[in-house]
Structure 1
């Protein structure tokens, strides 16, 4: 596992992984030659049993988690489904997820919604399907934990800090980040976490998602359907995202920079246990990266 600034992760980014980035030479604003790291993109086709479901653009790490998480978040894998195999072919860039239950989703895949995510995401069927049945745990969130998480995550070596042009999503518990996934689309990063949780049988009632991306309707819906009660971000909100968060009782916190944040849903579940003036301002390095 890569060095992570002293923070213990179950899974952490590896910015040194050769196949995730490449060095590209160009010229800078002065005309001088420069070489930078850029993020790779590659297709990954996901099958559920014998049915081809989707081809996603991804950086290529953790394809099995991405496939399982995508199917789970699309409602194509059920809570009690037994997965008999997850087979990845690197040459064909294909993942096949096999289940004991016979699955047929011909009608569902005919209805697609292109989401607002980077590396445009796809949602099949009704985006709001099942949302009216969601009952989220009323998890209390300490602001001291929010500040600690932001500092730990923002100082973790990552592709985001190495190359930019990528989103990160982190599964957290209390003030501890557990699983840090990155991808060209924030929906992919969330799906990787969903896949890991499903395959590992991890509970959700005391968990939080932290993301570098916008808190859109898609992100709020994915988080709520996963049963996770808190969603936080470095970035801002969309109006529909906030509306849905309030509807389902999801604590939604954005614009987390240094000592600053804004809570637009779930304020009654925030425990303000630390003086913000005791929190240092965010470093210029992280402010610069977040603006890219």
Structure 2
């Protein structure tokens, strides 16, 4: 059984639910995952598991949040192969390194065909031993009520029904929702909302992000590369994620649940929060 409202994101699967020793045949809504490949200017930059919805946004966001380029010229998806083709006229040194590794692979001088992709994916596991390459400067401010609302908006219908996806919501200053995205991967939800903003000409420096997922170094780095000044998460961060947020000028808010939250960095952007920092 399928539901067109969840096309590409989830499907119903037969299961047996046991409650208090009693069995019940059910159709359980379960998250879907597919292998998705992203190419930038013809070069494969990642091949990863994702929910196969909003793939244009995923590709456009990925190349920005991974610091591979500064803008997106075009993007289109081959739905038969889940391959996203992105072009840009402003690639970075990070992308040029992948080009070199790809060329070495094709000429037999590299370690294997997946090396270029693995080099990119491994960035997510990096440790914050160096300072942020740039600092986000934004005059955006949010109120405590904005944080409370964000914690409610990131609880998507699919998140509630499957328990198997993450959700990210991008807001403009003032609380207007820009994009809502779900995916089996928390990184992918950020890529998708960033991609949506990029494709619609929205200034990310004037937005804030709400997430269900943890905020380790790699997640904070994505927001740094995209220029997002405020992150709100229901979950925890890590010491390295917090250090990067402080160094890059990001306001990092975690454990945002109900009417409580913890601000780990740059609290001056949150109206009503008193601090001695």
Common fold, TM-score beyond 0.5?
yes
1:40 aligns with 2:11: no
Which structure 2 residue ranges, 5 or more long, are not aligned?
A: 103-114
Match of 1:230 in 2: 230
- Spell out, residue by residue over 1:41-95, the C-alpha distance to the aligned partner (whole angstroms, 9 max, x if none): 111111223222221211111111111111122222224x6x1x42321112212
Task: Give the drift of 1:252.
Answer: 0.8
Which structure 1 residue ranges, 5 or more long, are not aligned?
A: 1-13, 116-120, 274-292
**Could you tell me how far apart the structure 2 residues matched to 1:57 and 1:39 are?**
12
Check 1:201–1:175 CA distance in 2 against 1; reply closer, same or farther (3 A cut).
closer
Preserved CA contact (<8 Å) 1:63 1:95: yes
Preserved CA contact (<8 Å) 2:69 2:90: no
Match of 2:165 in 1: 166
Match of 2:258 in 1: 258
Preserved CA contact (<8 Å) 2:153 2:169: no
Check 1:182–1:114 CA distance in 2 against 1; reply closer, same or farther (3 A cut).
farther
Check 1:122–1:171 CA distance in 2 against 1; reply closer, same or farther (3 A cut).
farther
**Could you tell me how far apart the structure 1 residues matched to 2:270 and 2:88 are?**
40
Match of 1:92 in 2: 81
**Could you tell me how far apart the structure 2 residues matched to 1:256 and 1:126 are?**
25
1:107 aligns with 2:100: yes
Task: Give the drift of 1:134.
Answer: 2.4
**Could you tell me how far apart the structure 2 residues matched to 1:127 and 1:78 are?**
24
Instruction: State the SS of the aligned residue for 2:168.
Output: strand
Larger helix proportion, structure 1 or 2? 2
Instruction: State the SS of the aligned residue for 1:78.
Output: coil
- Spell out, residue by residue over 1:253-275, the C-alpha distance to the aligned partner (whole angstroms, 9 max, x if none): 111111111111122332128xx
Match of 1:77 in 2: 69
Instruction: State the SS of the aligned residue for 1:88.
Output: strand
Q: 1:21 aligns with which of 10, 18, 40?
A: 10
Instruction: State the SS of the aligned residue for 1:123.
Output: helix
Check 1:265–1:108 CA distance in 2 against 1; reply closer, same or farther (3 A cut).
farther
Superposition map of 1:211-250 within 5 A: 211-250=211-250
Using structure 2 for the length normalisation, give the TM-score.
Answer: 0.79
Count of residue pairs brought into register by the alignment:
250
